[in-house]
Structure 1
Amino acid sequence: MNGGLYRSTHAAPDGQPPAQEGVTVVSVEEPAPAPQPGQDGGGSTAGQSAIMAVGSLVSRVIGFVRNALIGMVLGEAVGDAYTGAQFLPGQIYELLLGGILSSVLIPLLVRRRKADPDGGQEFTQRLLSFAVVMLGLATALVVLAAPLITAIQTSGDKTEPAFRDLVTNFSYLILPIIFFTGVSALIGAVLNVRGHFAAPMWAPILNNIVVIAVCGVFLLTFGTDKELTPENISGAELVLIGAGTLLGMVVQAIGLLPALRKVGFRWKWRWAPRELGLREIGHLAGWMLCYVAANQIAVFALVRALNSAGGEDNPGALAFNNVFLLMMMAHGIIGVSVMTALLPKMSAAAAEGRLDEVSDDLSRGIKLVSAALAPIVVAYAVLSGPIAVFLFQGGRITNADALDMGTVLTVAAFAVLPLSISFLCTNVFYALQGNKTAALINLPVVAARITGYFVLAAILDESLTAAGMTAANGISYLLSALISLAVLRRRIGRLNLGSVFVALLKVVLAAGVAAGLALLVVRLLPGSGAPDGRVEALVQLAVGGVVILIVYLGAALLLRVREVSQVVGMVRRKIGR
Structure 2
Amino acid sequence: MSRMMRASAIMAAGTMVSRVTGFARTMVLAYAIGTAALGDSYNAAYAIPYSILDLLLLGVLSSVVVPMIVRAQQHDPDGGRAYEQRLLTLATAVLVVVAALAVLGAPLLIDLYTDWDHGTPKFDTAVMLARFILPQLAFFGVGAVAGAILNTRDRYGAPMWAPVLNNLVVICVFLAYAVVGSGSDIDAVTTGDLALLGLGTTAGIVAQAMVLIVALKRVGFTFTPRFDVRNARLGEMGRAGAWTIGYVVVTQLGFMLTTNLSSSAGNAVSGHGISAYTLAFQLFQLPYGIIGVSVITAMLPRMSRAVGEGRLDDVRTEFGSSVRLICSLMVPVSLLLMVLGPAITVPIYGHGANSIADAVYIGNVLQVYGLALVPFAVFQLLLRVFYSFGDTRTPVFVGAGATAVNALLMVIFFVLLPARYAVMGLALAYAIAYGLGAVIAWMLASRRVHGLGGWTVGMALTRMYLAALPTAVLALLTVWVVTQVFGGLGFVNSLIVLAVGGGLGLLLYLAVAHRMRIAEVNSLVGMVARRVGR
Tell me the TM-score normalised to structure 1 length.
0.83
Partner of 2:112: 152
Partner of 1:292: 248
- 1:146 aligned partner, one-letter code: A
Q: 1:341 offset after TM fit, Å?
A: 5.3
* Counterpart mapping for 1:496-507 below 5 A: 496-507=453-464
Partner of 2:417: 460
- Which 10-residue stretch deviates more, 76-85 or 54-63? 54-63
Partner of 2:236: 280
The match for 1:104 among 47, 64, 79 is 64
Contact 1:403 1:530 in 2 (8 A): no
Partner of 1:9: none
Identity between Structure 1 and Structure 2 (%): 37
1:185 and 2:141 aligned: no
Partner of 1:214: 173
Alpha-carbon separation, structure 1, partners of 2:156 and 2:530 = 31
Alpha-carbon separation, structure 2, partners of 1:346 and 1:118 = 23
Alpha-carbon separation, structure 2, partners of 1:531 and 1:362 = 44
The match for 1:508 among 465, 489, 498 is 465
Partner of 1:484: 441
Q: 1:325 offset after TM fit, Å?
A: 2.0
Partner of 1:330: 287
Q: Deviations over 1:43-74 (max 9, x none)?
A: x9999776544322211111111111111111
Alpha-carbon separation, structure 2, partners of 1:214 and 1:536 = 30
Partner of 2:345: 388
1:247 and 2:203 aligned: yes
Cα 1:567–1:51 change in 2 (3 A) is closer
The match for 2:188 among 214, 229, 232 is 232
- 2:257 aligned partner, one-letter code: A
Cα 1:137–1:509 change in 2 (3 A) is same
Q: Deviations over 1:5-58 (max 9, x none)?
A: xxxxxxxxxxxxxxxxxxxxxxxxxxxxxxxxxxxxxxx999977654432221
The match for 1:68 among 21, 27, 36 is 27
Partner of 1:30: none
Cα 1:489–1:69 change in 2 (3 A) is same
The match for 1:314 among 260, 271, 288 is 271
1:256 and 2:212 aligned: yes
Alpha-carbon separation, structure 2, partners of 1:259 and 1:569 = 31
Q: 1:209 offset after TM fit, Å?
A: 1.4
Q: Deviations over 1:275-304 (max 9, x none)?
A: 433222212211111111111111111111
- 1:171 aligned partner, one-letter code: A
Q: 1:486 offset after TM fit, Å?
A: 1.8
Alpha-carbon separation, structure 2, partners of 1:437 and 1:573 = 42
Q: 1:556 offset after TM fit, Å?
A: 4.3
Cα 1:230–1:432 change in 2 (3 A) is same
The match for 2:368 among 390, 395, 411 is 411
Contact 2:299 2:318 in 1 (8 A): yes
Question: Gaps (5+ residues) in structure 1?
Answer: 1-43
- 1:483 aligned partner, one-letter code: I
Contact 1:110 1:193 in 2 (8 A): yes
Alpha-carbon separation, structure 1, partners of 2:474 and 2:141 = 48
Q: Deviations over 1:424-479 (max 9, x none)?
A: 22222223333222222111111111222222222222122222221121112101
Q: CA RMSD in A?
A: 3.1
Q: Deviations over 1:135-175 (max 9, x none)?
A: 12222222211112212322368x98221122111111111
Q: 1:509 offset after TM fit, Å?
A: 3.5
Question: Gaps (5+ residues) in structure 2?
Answer: none
1:205 and 2:164 aligned: yes
The match for 1:421 among 378, 382, 392 is 378
Contact 2:67 2:301 in 1 (8 A): no
- 1:102 aligned partner, one-letter code: S
Alpha-carbon separation, structure 1, partners of 2:73 and 2:461 = 43
Partner of 1:20: none
* Counterpart mapping for 1:7-22 below 5 A: none
Contact 2:55 2:248 in 1 (8 A): yes
Cα 1:105–1:305 change in 2 (3 A) is same
Q: 1:575 offset after TM fit, Å?
A: 8.7
1:173 and 2:129 aligned: no
Alpha-carbon separation, structure 1, partners of 2:18 and 2:313 = 38
Alpha-carbon separation, structure 1, partners of 2:73 and 2:129 = 41
Cα 1:239–1:565 change in 2 (3 A) is closer
Alpha-carbon separation, structure 2, partners of 1:502 and 1:188 = 36
Q: 1:272 offset after TM fit, Å?
A: 2.9
* Counterpart mapping for 1:46-61 below 5 A: 52-61=11-20
Tell me the TM-score normalised to structure 2 length.
0.89
Between the two proteins, the alignment pairs up a number of residues equal to 530
Alpha-carbon separation, structure 2, partners of 1:45 and 1:364 = 9
Cα 1:286–1:528 change in 2 (3 A) is farther
Q: 1:218 offset after TM fit, Å?
A: 1.1
Partner of 1:270: 226
Alpha-carbon separation, structure 2, partners of 1:258 and 1:352 = 33
1:475 and 2:429 aligned: no
- Which 10-residue stretch deviates more, 366-375 or 95-104? 366-375
- 2:186 aligned partner, one-letter code: P
Alpha-carbon separation, structure 2, partners of 1:463 and 1:548 = 31
Cα 1:530–1:345 change in 2 (3 A) is farther
Higher share in helix: 2
The match for 2:358 among 388, 394, 401 is 401
Q: 1:401 offset after TM fit, Å?
A: 0.9
Cα 1:48–1:499 change in 2 (3 A) is closer
Partner of 1:303: 259
- 1:170 aligned partner, one-letter code: L
Report SS of the residue matched to 1:231.
coil
Cα 1:289–1:466 change in 2 (3 A) is same
- 1:151 aligned partner, one-letter code: D
- 1:444 aligned partner, one-letter code: G
Cα 1:192–1:516 change in 2 (3 A) is closer
Report SS of the residue matched to 1:383.
helix
- 1:507 aligned partner, one-letter code: M
Q: 1:555 offset after TM fit, Å?
A: 4.9
Alpha-carbon separation, structure 2, partners of 1:274 and 1:366 = 39
